[in-house]
Amino acid sequence: MPVVRTFFTGGHFAVSVFFVISGYVLSAKPLSLIHSGDTVKLGDSLASALFRRWLRLYIPVFVTTLLYLTSWHMFGIWTVSPNHEANFRDELWKFYVEFKNYSFAFRTGGEDWLSYNFPTWSIPVEFRGSIIIFTSLLAFSRCTRNMRLFGMVGLIFYFMYIVDGWFGSLFMAGTHSGVSLLDESCLKRHVPLLMPETSQLTVTFFAGSLLCELDLLARNDDLPRIFKRLERYKTPIFYTFFFVSMFLSGVPSHSRAYSSPLHLVLKPRKRCGIVDIHTSKLLPNHP
């Protein structure tokens, strides 16, 4: 049932909303400095934020996961997964190997999560989205208002429809209503052996950044004319977006969960990044 379903199986939707909020919060101070023209403080702010970002995201994961796996060997606790190593030394080595790959933002293979702590899969996505936000804000800092907005919208389109990077788009945009239409079968339809990684999440970060930009422009009464023409309709527009968003949030995140007639109608209409048709270069053994 639409809307009600979200409260029970809406985890994918909640994560997408969180990425939008992250994009908004990360952009607030840099954008205010861009609007004030203080490029020196902007550089200091972005440098500080980028330096602290990895530490803030990964240190809590490292500490809590280390305590978790230590408790198995110290107190003899049994867990369903993952499989425990024979001794604590082997457990530490396995954890080290997993964590060094998990915390490397530019890896090109492997899993995007820890077998010890699966819910932390969103942390590497959060870090990559943060890098996208910081670098794009720096790149757009000398642009005019309209060019900066066009650049943000262009990146949203790029991450959502050109490449499979919806998480960066949501960090940059604000239309999180459509994120729940994503699932891992999107790329499989085009290249059965080419599995999507968490790079398919980038759209979300740009959504929040664009919302922040528009809020700051509205606060300074500097919105583009098209928004001023729509100002009298802003309340019905916002309510329409909200109800559509809640309605779409009930769409399952996995193809196998598509059961109702409405879900089956929406399934072929979910967005999907364009895949290079020359897959033989990537998968030489793929027919």
Residue 173 placed within a domain? yes
Q: pLDDT of 192-214, one tens digit each? A: 333 333 444 566 777 888 889 98
CA 249 to chain centre: 16
Structural domain that includes position 219: 6-38+121-275
> In angstroms, rounded to a whole number, what is the distance separating the alpha carbons of residues 85 and 93?
10
CA separation (Å) from 215 to 133, 135, 206, 227?
Answer: 17, 21, 14, 12
Residue 271 placed within a domain? yes
The domain tally of the chain equals 1
Amino acid at 266: L
Once rounded to an integer, what is the mean pLDDT over residues 169-174? 57
Amino acid at 151: G
Structure token pair of residue 104: 């490397």
Residue 110 placed within a domain? no
Residue 87 placed within a domain? no
Residue 195 placed within a domain? yes
Q: Is the pLDDT of residue 26 over 50?
A: yes
Residue 184 gets the label, from left (phi > 0), alpha (psi -120 to 50) or beta, of alpha
For residue 277, the number of C-alpha atoms closer than 13 Å in the C-beta half-sphere is 0
Phi then psi dihedrals of residue 165, to 5 deg = -135, 55
> In angstroms, rounded to a whole number, what is the distance separating the alpha carbons of residues 38 and 149?
19
Phi then psi dihedrals of residue 111, to 5 deg = -90, 155
> In angstroms, rounded to a whole number, what is the distance separating the alpha carbons of residues 92 and 181?
39
Say which DSSP state 190 is in. Answer: T
Residue 77 placed within a domain? no
Asked if 201 contacts 165 with a C-beta cutoff of 8 angstroms, the reply is: yes
Residue 206 placed within a domain? yes
Q: pLDDT of 216-273, one tens digit each? A: 998 888 888 888 888 889 899 989 988 888 888 877 766 555 556 666 666 555 555 5
Q: Supply the pTM of this predicted model.
A: 0.77
Once rounded to an integer, what is the mean pLDDT over residues 115-133? 89
Helix (H) or strand (E) holding 253: none
Residue 108 placed within a domain? no
